[in-house]
Amino acid sequence: MTTMTKLNTPNRLTLLRVVLTPLFLAAMLLPLSHRYLWAALLFCLASATDFLDGHLARQRNQITVFGQLLDPVADKILATAALLAFMQLGWCNIWAVMLVLTREFLITSVRLVAVSQGMVIPANRWGKAKTVSQMTFTALLLFLADLRNWVPALPMSDKAFTLLANVLMWLVAAMTLVSGLTYLSGARKVINFTKD
- Domain edges within the chain: 7-190
pLDDT at 143 over 90: yes
The CA distance from 46 to 153, in Å, is: 31
Q: Which residues contact 151 (CB under 8 A, 6 or more apart)?
A: none
Report, as an integer, the average pLDDT of 27-35: 90
CA distances from 196 to 6, 69, 109, 116, 187 (A): 34, 22, 15, 10, 17
pLDDT in tens, 61-104: 877 777 777 887 888 899 899 999 999 999 999 999 999 999 88
| Matching CATH number, 7-190, of 2.60.40.10, 1.10.10.60, 1.25.40.10, 1.20.120.1760 | 1.20.120.1760
Least confident of 49-58, 92-101, 115-124, 181-190: 115-124
pLDDT at 4 over 60: no
| Contact present, 13 and 20 (Cβ < 8 Å) | no
pLDDT in tens, 105-133: 888 788 777 777 777 676 678 878 888 88
| Contact present, 8 and 55 (Cβ < 8 Å) | no
pLDDT at 3 over 70: no
Q: Which residue has the higher pLDDT, 22 or 152?
A: 22
User: What pLDDT was estimated at residue 155?
Assistant: 77
What torsion do the CA atoms of 98, 81, 163, 182 make, to the nearest 10 degrees?
A: -50
| Contact present, 143 and 36 (Cβ < 8 Å) | yes
User: What pLDDT was estimated at residue 1?
Assistant: 42
pTM of this prediction?
0.83
User: Amino acid identity of 172?
Assistant: V
User: What pLDDT was estimated at residue 193?
Assistant: 63
Q: Which residues contact 92 (CB under 8 A, 6 or more apart)?
A: 83, 86, 165, 166, 169
pLDDT at 194 over 70: no
User: What pLDDT was estimated at residue 104?
Assistant: 84
